[in-house]
Chains A and B, each alone.
Chain A
Amino acid sequence: MKIAVCWKWVSLDREREADRRWSGVSAADEAALQIALTIADTANALPGAVASEVLVICLGPAGADDVLRDAIAAGATTVMRVDASTELDSQVVAVALAEHLGDRDLVLCGDYSLDRGTGSVPAFLADELSSAQALGLLEVRPPSGDASGTFRVVRRLDGGRREILDVTVPAVLSVEGSAASLRRAALASSLAARNAPVETVRGPHGRLPEAEIHPYRPRARVMPAPAGGSLERVRQILDIGGGDPHAELLTLEPSAAAAMIVEQLRDWGYLDVSASAHPGTD
């Protein structure tokens, strides 16, 4: 089986691009690699199987080479970097990636990247490769014994619904971060991968259209007026000075914060109820 995994390298700090401390790939991209490795392992285990191949490809700047080496350490057969800026239109990215994927049975992506986060590159890839697509997956089950090349997957729908799909290769799958966690590379292999060369090919130029950037604020919608009166009272109890006039903004040390919350809940009448059964974390 020939598999490609698309890794989006993101620098969380716009200024310090090269700084490994504040950059990397998403949990979803790591999950994608783990799933690829598992599929490859299963396929290889089949009698008379041709060794599967897992290519990890990243369109991005040189800063991304380190994470590609991590991919090698984790078990990727080959890695490739398409040299380009991360600030590109998703379709341009997909076209450039498709160009270097060769013919693949399977292309695995994360469901969305940390910076653009549109989840559209995988769909553009499917279009470009005229493959089937199954995106935003919670679970991917490798084909059973006969290696029919049909995968059974679970996709997240809205309102807590999910759907079970059958996808036949060639296909593009994108997975959520919780779908798998990347296995830890053996120490020896990560030492070996240290100076592994990363094949680099020239990528597309161009930029995203100019955009004014603002911090996110919810679009105006009707909100009930805060219970100011009661808060005033609580304020006096704790004798705290006024905060931001718009929101009830208070800087408190933890114990006061807790007292404030309990007091407020009581004021709103939420606390006369006794505890009831509730579900647990996983």
Chain B
Amino acid sequence: MTTGAQPTTVDAIVVGAGPAGSAAATVLARKGYSVILLERGSFPGSKNMYGGVVYPRILDQLHPEWWNEAPIQRWITRRSTMVLTETQALTVDFRSANWGQPPYNGATAYRPDWDHWLAGKAEADGALLVCATTATGLLRDPGGHVIGVTTDRPDGDLHARVVIACDGVNSFLAKEAGLYGDVDAANYTVGVKETIALPKHVIDERFGVRDREGVDIEILGGTSGVNGGGFVYTNLDTLAVGVVLKLPKLAAQKLRPETIIANLKAHPGIAPLVEGGEIKEYSAHVIPEAGLAMMPKMTGDGLLVAGDAAAMCLAAGIWLEGVNFAMASGMYAAEAAADALAANDTSAAGLAGYERRLNDTFVLRDHRKLRRAPSLVLSDRVQHLYPHMIANTVERMFRVDNPTPKPGLRRILNEERKRAGLKLKDLASDAFDGLRSFG
């Protein structure tokens, strides 16, 4: 066995070949820097079953006309938001033909395909992808400046002028670098997903789409009383059905995620969509959810953190966007790293360009805008009271009670609000938060 070999040295090491890492590696490689892209899985995406709906707009910059080659399942041409109670379902449904043609908007994709493709692009641009290799720690010079990583391979030390940690949620590297304050479970949600096989034509009929058109349904309520949200989306010949649940509540309610998914699938509003399908796979994963509230310091001497590793995932109960934030933050981290390498200063100060880029773009702007969204969407009122109030209101509006004349909407609303035990001022404040977030 070769021993005592000179440790390999490159300009940059990117840890993790997820969307963030591959985007970062691509940028650096294109600028002519030597990059090693480390992935612990046997191939990029092999450990990644999550993230079915991606919004790749950001790729226009990195891979123009990406839609001609990206391994997508269906283009999202229809988005619905469902509010569920035990017996009722209110759906706000939007479809746009524009989303079914270039430049497209969102798409469903299998992560093993997507990550594999994106990493392949990085390789094609000259990045050196090394799979089945786990970064086990950071190498530092006496001054604490990060100068590389250790890996689980024999003679596995790697030296570099800058390291970009894209190692996903709970980033081991960012923590080791002390970039995180202490985080509590309240900041995490657990995402659970089932992939269910159905023939393509059945999916097309049930969801009213054809060819490559697809549907993304976000669900409020229907999570068995555990604060969270649900989703259903269409791949070519499978459906993804999942829930995103607040960890503390889950623990408190002593319910198992599978049980909650099963209940969701049994809901009269969902059952007809998933009936008769064969479960192909089941996966669960934690998501950093509190957004801004828990983001770490983005840079240290010789180190940058991007994607989920930096809690960049936007998970506000029914919103679940991470891949796009990951790819963007990866790109920006790499651009900053490139500048720093050029200026020969990879200290935290030299890497400051990263945070600037994040602040000036959708990455942190969206997070700031939606700052209150998670706590609002996951609040007990929104979770448990509003669905009933809204659904009952609508039910009464559409119900025909002849000979009793139709009641006015205001009256129904008021009665339902009282019945739901809501105070006007709460309603007002939530509405205000909602406006600031989504308005």
The yes or no answer to A190 lying at the interface (CB within 8 A) is yes
Q: Can you give 25 contacting A-B residue pairs, CB < 8 Å?
A: A20-B43, A21-B42, A21-B43, A21-B46, A21-B112, A21-B116, A183-B1, A184-B152, A186-B2, A186-B5, A186-B154, A187-B8, A187-B130, A187-B155, A187-B156, A187-B158, A188-B7, A188-B8, A188-B155, A189-B2, A191-B130, A194-B128, A253-B258, A254-B258, A256-B262
**Residues of chain A lying within 8 A (CB to CB) of residue B258:** 253-255
The yes or no answer to A185 lying at the interface (CB within 8 A) is yes
The yes or no answer to B153 lying at the interface (CB within 8 A) is yes
**Residues of chain B lying within 8 A (CB to CB) of residue A254:** 256, 258
CA distance A75 to B151 in the complex (A): 19
Fill in one digit per residue for B126-161: 1 if any A CB lies within 8 Å of its CB, else 0.
Answer: 001010010000000000000000011111111000
The yes or no answer to A281 lying at the interface (CB within 8 A) is no
B325 to chain A, nearest CB (A): 26
A positions within 8 Å CB-CB of B: 20-21, 75, 183-191, 194, 251, 253-256
CA distance A186 to B262 in the complex (A): 46
Whether A186 lies near B153 (C-beta < 8 A) is yes
Whether B1 lies near A186 (C-beta < 8 A) is yes
Count of A-B residue pairs with CB < 8 Å: 59
Whether B279 lies near A251 (C-beta < 8 A) is yes
Whether A185 lies near B153 (C-beta < 8 A) is yes
Whether A253 lies near B262 (C-beta < 8 A) is yes
A170 to chain B, nearest CB (A): 27
Using a CB-CB cutoff of 8 Å, which residues 105-137 of chain B contact chain A? 112, 116, 128, 130, 133
CA distance A187 to B128 in the complex (A): 12
CA distance A254 to B192 in the complex (A): 14
**Residues of chain B lying within 8 A (CB to CB) of residue A191:** 8, 128, 130
Does more than half of chain A's interface fall in helix, strand or loop, or is it mixed? helix
Whether B133 lies near A187 (C-beta < 8 A) is yes
Partner of B154, one of A21, A184, A251, A253: A184
B194 to chain A: closest residue by CB = A253
Whether A255 lies near B153 (C-beta < 8 A) is no
Q: Pick the 3 closest A-B CB pairs, nearest first.
A: A253-B262, A186-B155, A187-B153
Given A187-B151, A187-B156; A253-B5 close (CB under 8 Å):
no
B237 to chain A, nearest CB (A): 15
B420 to chain A, nearest CB (A): 31
Q: Known pairs A186-B1, A186-B154, A187-B155; list 5 more (Cβ under 8 Å).
A: A184-B154, A188-B2, A189-B2, A190-B153, A253-B261
CA distance A188 to B128 in the complex (A): 13
Whether A255 lies near B2 (C-beta < 8 A) is no
The yes or no answer to B259 lying at the interface (CB within 8 A) is yes
A253 to chain B, nearest CB (A): 4
Given A20-B43, A189-B2, A254-B258; A184-B153 close (CB under 8 Å):
yes
**Residues of chain B lying within 8 A (CB to CB) of residue A251:** 278-279
Using a CB-CB cutoff of 8 Å, which residues 1-36 of chain B contact chain A? 1-3, 5-8
A239 to chain B, nearest CB (A): 12
**Residues of chain A lying within 8 A (CB to CB) of residue B46:** 21
Partner of A253, one of B42, B153, B259, B278: B259
B309 to chain A, nearest CB (A): 22
CA distance A194 to B42 in the complex (A): 16
**Residues of chain B lying within 8 A (CB to CB) of residue A255:** 256, 258-259
A255 to chain B, nearest CB (A): 6
Query: Most chain-B Cβ atoms within 10 A of its Cβ — which of A184, A189, A191, A253?
Result: A253
CA distance A75 to B2 in the complex (A): 9
**Residues of chain A lying within 8 A (CB to CB) of residue B8:** 187-188, 191
B193 to chain A, nearest CB (A): 14
Fill in one digit per residue for B249-288: 1 if any A CB lies within 8 Å of its CB, else 0.
Answer: 0000000101101100000000000000011000000000
A255 to chain B: closest residue by CB = B259
CA distance A20 to B133 in the complex (A): 16
A209 to chain B, nearest CB (A): 34
B7 to chain A: closest residue by CB = A188
CA distance A187 to B159 in the complex (A): 12
CA distance A253 to B260 in the complex (A): 10
CA distance A172 to B407 in the complex (A): 90
CA distance A189 to B156 in the complex (A): 10
**Residues of chain A lying within 8 A (CB to CB) of residue B3:** 186
**Residues of chain B lying within 8 A (CB to CB) of residue A188:** 2, 5-8, 155
**Residues of chain B lying within 8 A (CB to CB) of residue A256:** 262
CA distance A20 to B45 in the complex (A): 13
CA distance A251 to B5 in the complex (A): 55
B82 to chain A, nearest CB (A): 21
**Residues of chain B lying within 8 A (CB to CB) of residue A20:** 43
B426 to chain A, nearest CB (A): 36
CA distance A257 to B6 in the complex (A): 55
**Residues of chain A lying within 8 A (CB to CB) of residue B1:** 75, 183, 186
CA distance A20 to B46 in the complex (A): 12
B157 to chain A: closest residue by CB = A187
CA distance A20 to B131 in the complex (A): 12
Using a CB-CB cutoff of 8 Å, which residues 216-236 of chain B contact chain A? none
